[in-house]
Structure 1
């Protein structure tokens, strides 16, 4: 049985609420999907996600990942801004420091052996992907690894024309915080559009 799971950084409580409000303000009369909330689809920064074999043990793997990377109690990442990603995606993009790259490398190294490669969507249209994104998708079933890693909080998805218009008018609609602070690692069940639909394991960043 295939399990669609991901590992993510979760924002501090106040920044979680900021992201939820940002999604509402940005979408306005064109609500972005899926809706973010503190009880449902949590705002998050995906480190890695994909289809995994049923034998994967999220709690054990998250503990091993945490033990393998020296993380601070809180990780603050500078905002890059609201960006559009084909097709129809709106991201709150953040910087990609060396520590975040190291975290992803560790996560990928630990989890890649558990990927259910037969579940990769080989019919997916990757014509709008960059070359590095296509290579990442072919190798891991996930668009953003290695040089293609583009850390972000997903604000949602809509029609392509609407997404382009929302990005263009974003400065008039919302205030973008200068940085985002994360304090937990999460293993989650992927929902609509890869959302953080259900938490299956969680650890504070500086867990011992």
Structure 2
């Protein structure tokens, strides 16, 4: 049985609430899907996600990932703005420091053997992907790995022209914090548009 799962960084509680506020402010009178909430679709920064075989044990792998890196208690990532991403996505873009690149390398290395490659959507429209994104998708079934890694908090998805208009007006409509603080790693069940729909396992960044 294929399970659609992901590993993500979760914001500290106050920053989680800030992300929900930013989504609401950026959306204005439109609807960005899915709505972010403190209990359901959590604001998050995906490290890796995709279709996995039953051989994957989320609790075991998350402990292994945490033990493979020396992580601080908190990771602070500076915002680089609200950006549009084809097609119809509104992202709160974040910087990509070496620590985050190393974290993704460890996560991908641990989880890639469990990928259900037969579940990759080979008919997916990728014409608007960058070359690096196409390479990433073909290799891992996920658009943002390696050179294509694009740390972000997804603010939602909507109709194409509406998404572009929301991004153009975002600075006037919303006050976006200059930096975002993350203090947990989670293994989650993917929901609508890859949302963090259900937490399976959660661990503090720094192991005690």
The alignment's TM-score, normalised by the length of structure 2, stands at: 0.99
Residue 31 (structure 1) shift: 1.3
Q: Counterparts of 1:1-208 in structure 2 under 5 Å?
A: 1-208=1-208
Residue 28 (structure 1) shift: 1.4
Residue 195 (structure 1) shift: 0.1
Please identify runs of 4+ aligned residues in structure 1 that moved more than 3 A. Answer: none
| 2:55 counterpart SS class | coil
Residue 60 (structure 1) shift: 0.3
Residue 79 (structure 1) shift: 0.5
Equivalents in 2 of 1:75, 1:172: separation in Å?
28
Number of corresponding residues: 208
Aligned CA RMSD, in angstroms, stands at 0.5
Cα distance per residue 1:71-95 (max 9 Å; x no partner): 1000000110000000000000000
Cα distance per residue 1:27-50 (max 9 Å; x no partner): 111110000000100000000000
The alignment's TM-score, normalised by the length of structure 1, stands at: 0.99
Equivalents in 2 of 1:153, 1:38: separation in Å?
14
Equivalents in 1 of 2:32, 2:88: separation in Å?
10
Equivalents in 1 of 2:121, 2:3: separation in Å?
14
Equivalents in 2 of 1:149, 1:117: separation in Å?
20
| 1:133 counterpart SS class | helix
Structure 2 unpaired stretches of 5+: none
| 1:112 counterpart SS class | helix
